Amino acid sequence: MKKQDYIKWDEYFMGIALLSTERSKDPSTSVGACIVSEDNKILSVGYNGMPIGCSDDDYPWDREGNGLDTKYFYVCHAELNAILNYTGTHMKGAKIYTTLFPCNECTKAIIQKGITEIIYMCDKYADTESVIAAKRMLDSSGVKYRQYHPIGKDIVISL
């Protein structure tokens, strides 16, 4: 008889998005994303981080202060990184698993690449204009989104 306690696709891909957050250097919000084809093949992954050549040690991670001294002008978002990291030809009909609901800028890129479903974990910025705008664009373009609800299974990875 086959093993019964295997994880389903949602747990597998959200698990990879969650593992990707472990690469983020953001001290307040680590985000991970995993893009998956229609037939459940992983196309790309990403996390929020500074652009190539912009040292994690030289650029700010602050949330507040003078705009140029905060992270917001510099950090590349997880979903955008996952899209940019993809080396294949197309991602039409793909799904994106992300640990945080995408902002309006990531949402534009998601729509333009032909991704048709967003599975997100946390929506802590639901009340912000960015996420309200994101949902408006998703609704207009017919991109589905649904929240992932953890099943309460702990998986320990010993490294």
Ligand X SMILES: O=c1ccn([C@H]2C[C@H](O)[C@@H](COP(=O)(O)O)O2)c(=O)[nH]1
Q: Which residues define the annotated binding site for Zn(2+)?
A: 77, 103, 106
Residue 50, binding choice from ligand X, Zn ion, none, Cβ under 5 to 8 Å by partner class: none
**Number of other CB atoms surrounding residue 147 within 10 Å:** 11
Q: How far apart are CA 120 and CA 101, in angstroms?
A: 6
Is 38 assigned a catalytic role?
no
Q: How far apart are CA 82 and CA 26, in angstroms?
A: 17
Q: What is the DSSP letter of 21?
A: H
- Are 28 and 72 in contact by the 8 Å Cβ rule? The answer is no
Site string for Zn ion, 51-90 (x = CB under 5 A): --------------------------x-------------
Of positions 18, 35, 82, 103, contacts Zn ion by CB under 5 A: 103
**Residues numbered 77-136 forming contacts with ligand X, rule: CB under 6 A:** 77-79, 100, 102-103, 106
Residue 106, interface with Zn ion (CB under 5 A)? yes
Convert 119-129 to b/e letters by CB count within 10 Å (16 or more is b). bbbeeebeeee
Q: How far apart are CA 159 and CA 156, in angstroms?
A: 10
Q: Quick one: which segment of 8-16, 32-40, 44-52, 98-106 binds Zn ion (CB under 5 A)? A: 98-106
Q: How many of the chain's residues bind ligand X (CB under 6 A)? A: 15
The overall longest dimension of the chain from CA atoms, in Å, is: 61
**Positions that interact with ligand X (CB under 6 A):** 26, 28-29, 31, 48, 63, 71, 75, 77-79, 100, 102-103, 106
